[in-house]
Structure 1
């Protein structure tokens, strides 16, 4: 072409201005080509191919993986890639086939399918941590305690804990020595006596029953819409993705 597209050094390769312009021009064309090839594959009767899904770790463990295991055994030509991410991922830009969020945060231009029931978040700590300390009576009391924080990659900040009671909603920003981007590490830190954790009630329930975690502020625990699988609207859905959607679709009992 007679134009330099790449700048190379001994340690890296980067695009020149011309290279970036060419990339930005070709990228949507190649994406459209991928979509068309997926549509052609959809004409096949045999589900095959890779389905890439981005989701929270807890959603993967509690909802996705238990239902996908039988599907993978039934269709050996289907591959599923599960990516743990707390960001509000743009699945089209990141080339995922689908993503998982709670229902209230799914973008309006996406097709959403409920895959799980509504759930509550719980505030818990170990009896060891609470020994000799005052029990929080209102959410604001948590600011005087050690709390285990969650960092959200989308905003780069710490998640403010949401609460609700009798129609009143509020958020509390807590402080503590431990910060994670993983639900199960937050649970473990609470079990280890590092302070209060804000985690799904279902995840904490077993430990509460065994006396390893103490629940507080139960009247303030918020209610969230269940997990939804979301994907971009297409004229045809690849058979592999269609099978994944079917097996994940939530059926109320």
Structure 2
């Protein structure tokens, strides 16, 4: 049966006083070093001895020495207390400046188009911060999984999160390969998609998402079907390029294949607009300097900020 351990309140009381007296073998000098009165040191030692149930010092009018119990206690308490002080200094240091491990949960598709240049410039600007990127399509609990922040499309971020825009809103484009259209007619209306092979995306909730299109400002849902279901846009993109079927993709992800002719866009008048990509983190958590530095860096280096500057100029 597993035991339940708790740290008693005041378990460390008197340790610093004990170490001071053990160091100087003198109550008065220990008190001066700690900035307290000799009587306060004596009271702290007596309380510690009472709590431990052992006498730690041999006191005479001329000297102070350690008992066997005191010597044994010193051999283990001194390095443990020093380690505790060092741990406190490390924590205090991390709370004052950008340093330590910054863990980010990121969809695979945003890495090449957004995050790689952002991470490269951030690592150069903040060499004391280690960045760990975990690619996942899952909408995970950041705190429970030990992540400092995540990156997702805006419509998938919970309302209790702080969201920082990284990209402007963008369209979701419908596209297929030239080989696919060599064997299939191009759809002219959203309803035509029911007669096409479509590559679908399984959302983190487990549901296979329908496609949303925009018909003169009215959002319409189309239940498409096809031979492949994937859980990330990178796989959907690759399958579309190979001619497996039509895909609905964020325009930044599809931009290069559309430019080079590997994909052909269809149903352009019906393309809906997505909110864009956001960095997000829990609103209730105190933000550490490493995350604050990354948030500020993302704000100043993101495509959304660059576009804003271009418009201003």
User: Any gaps of 5 or more consecutive residues in structure 2?
Assistant: 7-87
Instruction: Return closer, same or farther for 1:134/1:164 CA change in 2, 3 Å cut-off.
Output: same
Which string of whole-angstrom CA distances, capped at 9 and with x for unpartnered residues, describes residues 126-150 of structure 1? 1111124222122222121111121
Matched, 1:78 2:91: no
Q: 1-side partners of 2:95 and 2:262: how far apart?
A: 53
- The residue that corresponds to 1:106 in the other structure is 157
1:123 maps to 2:165: no
Q: Report the alpha carbon displacement of residue 38 of structure 1 after superposing the two structures with TM.
A: 9.4
1:68 and 1:244 in contact (8 A); partners too: no
Change over 3 Å in CA distance of 1:72–1:91 after alignment to 2: same
CA displacement at 1:234 relative to structure 2: 5.0
Cα RMSD (Å): 2.5
1:57 aligns to what?
108
Task: Give the equivalent residue in structure 1 for 2:290.
Answer: 240
Contact 1:42 1:236 in 2 (8 A): no
The equivalent position to 1:91 in structure 2, one of 137, 142, 145, is: 142
CA offset at residue 96 of structure 1?
A: 1.2
CA contact (8 A) 1:121 1:223 kept: yes
Identify, as 1 or 2, the structure richer in strand. Answer: 1
Counterparts in 2 of 1:207-246, with a 5 A limit? 207-233=257-283, 236-246=286-296
Deviation sequence 1:157-187 (CA, Å, 0-9, x none): 2121111122210122222222222222211
Q: 1:139 to 1:64 in 2, by over 3 A?
A: same
- Alpha-carbon distance between aligned partners in 2 of 1:128 and 1:134, rounded to the nearest angstrom: 11
Shift of 1:42: 4.2
Distance, in Å, in 2 between the alignment partners of 1:132 and 1:59 is 31
Higher Cα Rg, which structure: 2
Q: Report the Cα distance in structure 2 between the residues aligned to 1:170 and 1:38, rounded to whole angstroms.
A: 54
Structure 1 SS opposite 2:186: coil
Name the structure 2 match of 1:201: 251
**Larger RCO (CA under 8 A, 6+ residues apart):** 1
- 1:196/1:77 CA distance change after superposition, 3 Å: same
Question: Where is the helix percentage greater, Structure 1 or Structure 2?
Answer: 2
Contact 1:39 1:237 in 2 (8 A): no
Is 2:225 the partner of 1:157?
Answer: no
Q: 1:44 aligns with which of 74, 96, 100?
A: 96
Aligned twin of 2:242: 192
- C-alpha deviation, 1:97, in angstroms: 0.7
User: Do the aligned partners of 2:113 and 2:252 also contact (CA within 8 Å) in 1?
Assistant: no
Give the C-alpha shift of residue 209 in structure 1.
Answer: 2.6
Q: Secondary structure at 1:53's aligned position in 2?
A: strand
Where does structure 1 lack aligned partners over 5 or more consecutive residues? Answer: 6-18, 26-35
What's the offset of the Cα at 1:73?
A: 2.5
State the Cα distance separating 1:206 from its structure 2 match: 2.5
CA shift for structure 1 position 208? 2.1
